[in-house]
Chains A and B, each alone.
Chain A
């Protein structure tokens, strides 16, 4: 399974087999009901912008060259929320799809506009 946090191009989320709860930060149990019967799934990569900011002041020298860059919270179609980079100029409510770009020491998801 491709997972950008492991440097392969994809987004992984989890779903509880018992209560159907869906979440993003990986763990070995369901944070709602506690069962360990959880499945890791590949996300489609499409979602809707929930919140967005353009970062003008990067936290470190290696990232300074990238600034300004936009960071968003994206509500994914599968029902979980994630933080990612986003193409600048996309507003809250915009439909987006993920691609993956080099950033810092690894890769990060960067969402771009999906044309209606």
Chain B
């Protein structure tokens, strides 16, 4: 058993003059304060990576800078899946008795720390260097390919995808830390600039600066009663050219593993935090996991199913699409928001009194999948 005993999150957007370790430090300090823990209480550390600060040993660079001396530390890399993979690992690290309090932290000045072209080119390297990148492919292009095939097979429309962007923007309006809060409608999404068809600008998450952190503990150290009760992963490919299927990506398998370890069913969840790098990502994940029937995610969003007061509140902070995406911290914001929801501290975003949450992240081009089940204990 493990407990998520604290969580911290910066605003996402522009933090000019703040480095990777600055943003990590801000988020980590907030997570420790939230948990009521001191630096000396942290004996485990997991970090991800930063495209603006590539380093062989980010975890110990951060440990030294922040002022902790963990007895277990390293960085891991799994693209957008990294944050939830770190949560999964932290859970197992404390269960194995290797550490009592594991700090999981990420941060990156991805927006102001480099040129827009540099960000686009770095991210495109998840593609194959010899067989894909030379095509002038970009992350939106890889996802545009996926979208074209998936929409062809299940009958999802561009208007359906737009509903998901509108949903995330609506949620972000209630979060002061969100990068984009101006209201948008379906027609705004459809009229936004094409990036890689069928994806338009408002189908794509932004590039952001930001930091996120949480503490995974062996013991309950405070009144928060959020525990990790299920974990799962699935990895079917790296490159979209080599994906065995563009309708079955491993999200379903990963989630089934997590639900199996937690001994819960798909209908039991009353909160969901699902990776949404693009509207098509969110649609595919919702539909493959089984939180929406095939082709129905946009319709359900339009009907209020995923609203704060709906049957399954989803990404109430605004998701990657509107809260923002700073790399590893991107999906970690989903977890921080889930923690706030399960502890009843989401303020005017509070979605009732959720007890059981499903979190799912992916890295690459729907390549690497990580699922978590979080529960509010009695």
Q: Which residues of the other chain, B, contact A56 by a CB distance below 8 angstroms?
A: 193-197
Q: Is the CB of A108 within 8 A of B134?
A: yes
Of the candidates B121, B141, B193, B242, which one forms a contact with A53 in the assembled complex, judged by CB atoms under 8 Å apart? B141
Tell me the chain B residues, 119-143 only, with Cβ under 8 Å from chain A: 120-121, 124, 128, 130-132, 134-138, 140-141
Known: A54-B197, A61-B117. A81 touches B241 (CB 8 A): yes
Q: Is the CB of A52 within 8 A of B135?
A: no
A106 within 8 A of B: yes
Tell me the chain B residues, 184-217 only, with Cβ under 8 Å from chain A: 193-199
Known: A24-B241, A83-B137. A59 touches B117 (CB 8 A): yes
A39 within 8 A of B: no
Of the candidates A52, A83, A106, which one forms a contact with B240 in the assembled complex, judged by CB atoms under 8 Å apart? A83
CA distance A63 to B92 in the complex (A): 46
Q: Write out, one digit per residue, whether chain B residues 168-198 have a CB within 8 A of any chain A CB (1) or not (0).
A: 0000000000000000000000000111111
Tell me the chain B residues, 138-173 only, with Cβ under 8 Å from chain A: 138, 140-141, 144-149, 152
Tell me the chain A residues, 55-94 only, with Cβ under 8 Å from chain B: 55-61, 63, 66-67, 69, 71-73, 81-85, 92
CA distance A58 to B121 in the complex (A): 10
Known: A60-B121, A73-B145, A73-B240. A66 touches B135 (CB 8 A): no
CB distance from B239 to the nearest CB of A (A): 7
Q: Which residues of the other chain, B, contact A55 by a CB distance below 8 angstroms?
A: 136-138, 140-141, 144, 196
Known: A56-B194, A60-B117, A71-B141. A5 touches B131 (CB 8 A): yes
CB distance from A12 to the nearest CB of B (A): 11
Q: Is the CB of B196 within 8 A of A106?
A: no
CA distance A61 to B120 in the complex (A): 12
A33 within 8 A of B: no
CB distance from B135 to the nearest CB of A (A): 5
A50 within 8 A of B: yes
Q: Which residues of the other chain, A, contact B146 by a CB distance below 8 angstroms?
A: 51
Q: Which residues of the other chain, A, contact B75 by a CB distance below 8 angstroms?
A: none
The number of inter-chain residue pairs (CB within 8 angstroms) is 107
Q: Is the CB of A25 within 8 A of B194?
A: no
Q: Which residues of the other chain, A, contact B346 by a CB distance below 8 angstroms?
A: none
Interface centre among A54, A61, A67, A103 (most CB of B within 10 A): A54
CA distance A60 to B125 in the complex (A): 13
Q: Is the CB of A104 within 8 A of B138?
A: no
B246 within 8 A of A: yes
- The range of chain B's interface size is 20 to 34
Interface centre among B120, B146, B148, B195 (most CB of A within 10 A): B148
- The range of chain A's interface size is 20 to 34
CA distance A26 to B120 in the complex (A): 26
CB distance from B126 to the nearest CB of A (A): 12
Q: Is the CB of A103 within 8 A of B134?
A: yes
CB distance from B116 to the nearest CB of A (A): 10
Of the candidates A52, A82, A92, which one forms a contact with B131 in the assembled complex, judged by CB atoms under 8 Å apart? A82
The residue on A at minimum CB distance from B122 is A59
Known: A55-B196, A58-B136, A104-B134. A50 touches B240 (CB 8 A): no
Q: Is the CB of B130 within 8 A of A92?
A: no
CA distance A81 to B146 in the complex (A): 14
CB distance from A97 to the nearest CB of B (A): 18
Q: Which residues of the other chain, B, contact A57 by a CB distance below 8 angstroms?
A: 120, 138, 140, 195-196
CA distance A64 to B131 in the complex (A): 20
CA distance A69 to B130 in the complex (A): 19
CA distance A43 to B140 in the complex (A): 29
CA distance A48 to B56 in the complex (A): 43
Known: A24-B131, A58-B136. A51 touches B196 (CB 8 A): no
**A-B interface, 3 closest residue pairs, ranked by CB to CB distance from nearest:** A53-B144, A51-B149, A51-B145
Residues of A within 8 A of B (CB): 5, 23-25, 50-61, 63, 66-67, 69, 71-73, 81-85, 92, 103-106, 108
A-B contact pairs, 14 of them (CB 8 A): A25-B131, A51-B149, A52-B148, A53-B196, A55-B196, A56-B195, A57-B196, A58-B138, A59-B121, A73-B240, A81-B242, A83-B145, A92-B149, A105-B134
Q: A25-B239, A54-B197, A83-B132 are in contact. List 14 more A-B contacts (CB 8 A).
A: A51-B145, A53-B141, A53-B198, A54-B196, A55-B136, A55-B141, A55-B144, A59-B120, A60-B136, A71-B135, A81-B242, A92-B152, A104-B134, A106-B134
